[in-house]
Structure 1
Amino acid sequence: MSAETPTPSAIRMHRKSRVLQVDWEDGTSFNLPCEYLRVFSPSAEVQGHGPGQAVTLVGKEKVSIAAIEPVGNYAVKLIFDDKHDSGLFSWSYLHWLGSNYDENWATYLKRCEEVGYKRKEVPAG
């Protein structure tokens, strides 16, 4: 974690909307959809073991977070209800995901299109 990365002051799971709210000590706050967190998991299953090995996960529109486990004072382990639990979301990675949400999500939607997957919009709740 870099010196510039703030520390979360609160992490709340909003189950009905399937959104993880992360409030930061610097006053910023991000609402991160579970699907977004799942498809951008830092795990090797999603990111691969080296450059260019990331996979495009599809079909995660209804995924939620079943549990959040702290890891030291630098990360959380998100346990998704599809049983995925192998990625550690460091504070710097969570902050990056929040800060770059629009660009990351647009890239993901483009990748879904490239692999021929049409996302199914799922209402919250």
Structure 2
Amino acid sequence: MHIPSAITLHKASKALVLTYEGQEFRLPAEFLRVHSPSAEVQGHGQPILQTGKLGVALERIEPAGNYALKLCFDDGHDSGLFTWDYLYELAQRQDALWADYLQALDAAGKTRDPSESVVRLML
């Protein structure tokens, strides 16, 4: 199990900083939100593409026993428990996971921008 030696929530920059053996990883709130381990995001074996999460922020973090963090986002999402191992995996694979996410958005014709995720009807 990879447990961070330091956890810092940077509200101004909307990031969670994790330190492992002196190495820091800055995980943006948007990245964490779209990779939440919750059923809302992961589905039941079929991940659900998250759109319109640009600018989402972390409001607070809470410990979940000795094995995870509960991350509470300003869009109301707070149901995913980020285990120590999952956080470490996100930190280690951040670049590849983010590239995959951007590619999936593009392939679906979706966007990170919440204002473009709203369907407008003009009558």
TM class, shorter-chain normalised?
0.7 to 0.9
4+ runs of 1 displaced by more than 6 Å?
Answer: none
Q: Which position in structure 1 is the counterpart of 2:27? A: 32
Larger Rg: 2
For residues 119 and 85 of structure 1, the distance between their equivalents in structure 2, rounded to whole angstroms, comes to 19
Q: Which position in structure 2 is the counterpart of 1:90? A: 83
Normalising by structure 2, report the TM-score.
Answer: 0.87
Q: Which position in structure 1 is the counterpart of 2:102? A: 109
Q: CA deviation at 1:72?
A: 1.1
Select the residue among 72, 77, 80 that pairs with 2:70.
77
Identity of aligned residues (%): 51
Q: Which position in structure 1 is the counterpart of 2:49? A: 56
Select the residue among 15, 21, 25 that pairs with 1:19.
15
SS at match of 1:118: coil
The answer to whether the 8 Å contact 2:14/2:58 transfers is: yes
SS at match of 1:8: coil
User: Between Structure 1 and Structure 2, how many residues are aligned?
Assistant: 113
**Alignment-mate amino acid for residue 117 of structure 1:** K
For residues 78 and 100 of structure 2, the distance between their equivalents in structure 1, rounded to whole angstroms, comes to 24
SS at match of 1:59: coil
For residues 57 and 90 of structure 2, the distance between their equivalents in structure 1, rounded to whole angstroms, comes to 17
Q: CA deviation at 1:112?
A: 0.5
For residues 34 and 23 of structure 1, the distance between their equivalents in structure 2, rounded to whole angstroms, comes to 16
Q: Which position in structure 1 is the counterpart of 2:58? A: 65
Q: Which position in structure 2 is the counterpart of 1:123? A: none
Q: CA deviation at 1:119?
A: 3.4
For residues 70 and 111 of structure 2, the distance between their equivalents in structure 1, rounded to whole angstroms, comes to 29
Q: Unaligned stretches of 5+ in structure 2?
A: 114-123
Q: Which position in structure 2 is the counterpart of 1:118? A: 111
Normalising by structure 1, report the TM-score.
Answer: 0.86
